[in-house]
Amino acid sequence: MARRKYVVGNWKMNGTTTALAEARAIFAAAGEHPGVDVALCPPFTLIGAMAGAVPGAAVGGQDCHSAASGAFTGSVAADMLVDAGASLVIVGHSERREGCGESDADVRAKAEAALAAGLSVILCVGEPRTVREAGGAIDYVLAQIAGSVPDDFAADRLAIAYEPIWAIGTGLVPTVADVAAMHGAIRGALAARFGDAAQAMRLLYGGSVNGDNAAELLGAGDVDGALVGGASLTAAKFVPIVAAAAALG
């Protein structure tokens, strides 16, 4: 099954309204590559402004709460993201799993809430360095998949982002063979659970992707795109990644 390439920028805790010009430049340049789906996930505070500044652009959140409303100071519900103009959300990023103690069950509940609100989901998984070095990366990630991917969803509305924790923001990347092996294992696990629908789910690689390594990493088996942190903050760094995805078709 042909899956469209998907390149998503995670701005993390970066960006104020002065960064909207960069978002405009990114989406304008991405428009030159109509075969690639491009999205940006800015901080909550910028979602409405970015969606307004670039009509039709795919703008997303970086997290949501699993509850619809309530006494959760500082949190944002999935419906609120939709109301602000978001069409997608990242859940289970390692900076939240590790930094905020989110469990697989928490991530699954967030994904379910997001899907129920009409958002598409990018669900992150990935192993720490010690696990990779001990040879347990695939088992670790497949356990995350088993625990955090919901049971019931339209396959084209949930993408998995494999992001080895040791590769995020470090400049380190796995070998292409390791990426292909992990993505193949993830696809296999999804196929065992969801049957043919797994062929419609997109699997992104994330971790120190840049314009120089994008073609190689996105060309690995079963890689349908990238989740990009640091290199998504400027058009100059992000657009070459989109172009690499476009070249791979």
Where in the sequence numbering do the catalytic residues fall?
93, 163
CA torsion through residues 158, 162, 165, 169, sign: negative
Query: Shortest distance, CB of residue 241 to ligand PEP, whole angstroms?
Result: 10
10 vs 148 by CB, closer to ligand PEP: 10
Footprint of ligand PEP (CB under 6 A): 10, 163, 168-169, 206-209, 227-231
CB of 1 to ligand PEP, least distance (A): 26
Output the smallest distance, CB 231 to ligand PEP, in A.
Answer: 6
Nearest distance in Å: CB 96, ligand PEP: 10
Query: In this complex, which beta carbon is closest to ligand PEP, that of residue 40 or of residue 168?
Result: 168
Q: Which is nearer to ligand PEP, 47 or 194 (CB)?
A: 47
Nearer to ligand PEP, 96 or 108 (CB): 96
